[in-house]
Amino acid sequence: MSPKSPIPDFYYFCFGAYEPFLTTIGFIGALTDPLTAHNSQAPWTSDHPAYQVLPTATLVTILQLAHVCALLGFVNLFVLSAVRKNLSNSPDIQERIVFSLLTPLLMGDIFHMWLTFWALGDQKFNFQSWSPMLWTTVILGFSLMIPRICWHLGIGRYVHSRDGALRTEYPPTKASFKS
């Protein structure tokens, strides 16, 4: 039996609950302790020790970045909730809207991983020097990117080009019943 929704519960949980939760926690963490949020992003060498006080421009950048991440999480929650609630009888339209939401996020996931590894330079494969925050960033990044890839591959969800013909409803027929 084919799935009936382009946003089944698993994907709704991943992108409508788990992702907003992660981005909100990240925002709160950066807001409450921006110095630790900054200093734990990558390994520090003895040549370049971690900051003791953040420059104002760095503080503003960290807080703005955290805010944008939280905002993206809430955009997911609100768009997916609205699509599920208001377009439940139109899975083909749901699919197109969710595609428009998840495609740039998948591109962002891929670029985020590439950019993270690029920025680490020679430290990218020195895993023992990675901070817990860097490990968390990479692991949680993949925990969102992999379900997005699966959604785009049509795994476990309604895909109109594949399942649309199966949704054709035929009016009930009156069969004569003679006893």
- Indicate the pTM of the whole model: 0.82
Q: Is residue 34 part of a domain?
A: yes
Q: Is residue 100 in some structural domain? A: yes
Reply yes or no on whether the pLDDT at 165 is more than 80: no
State the pLDDT at residue 139.
97
Joined together, the tokens standing for residue 105 give 């996020």
pLDDT, averaged across the chain: 89
pLDDT for the residue 177: 58
38 inside domain: yes
In a domain, 86, yes or no: yes
Element (H, E) at 72: helix 56-86
Overall number of domains in the chain: 1
**Arithmetic mean of pLDDT, 55-61:** 92
Q: Identify the weakest region by mean pLDDT among 33-37, 46-50, 85-89.
A: 46-50
179 domain residue, yes or no: no
CA distance 60 to 57: 5
In a domain, 4, yes or no: no
Residue 107 lies in a domain: yes
Contact of 166 with 2, CB cutoff 8 Å: yes
Per-residue pLDDT at 174: 64
What tokens does 49 get?
Answer: 């020790």
66 is in which domain, residue-wise? 9-42+54-159
pLDDT at 100 > cutoff 90: yes
What six digits make up the tokens of 48?
């370049």
Q: What is the three-class DSSP state of 71?
A: helix
Encoded tokens for 152: 């785009």
What is the structure's pLDDT at 51? Answer: 84
| Beta-carbon contacts of residue 34 (< 8 Å; ≥ 6 apart) | 54, 59, 62, 63
pLDDT of residue 173: 59
166 or 92: which leads in pLDDT: 92
Q: Which two tokens stand for residue 100?
A: 């428009």
- pLDDT digit string, tens, across residues 101-147: 999 999 999 999 999 999 999 889 999 989 899 999 999 999 999 99
Q: Is 1 contained in some domain?
A: no
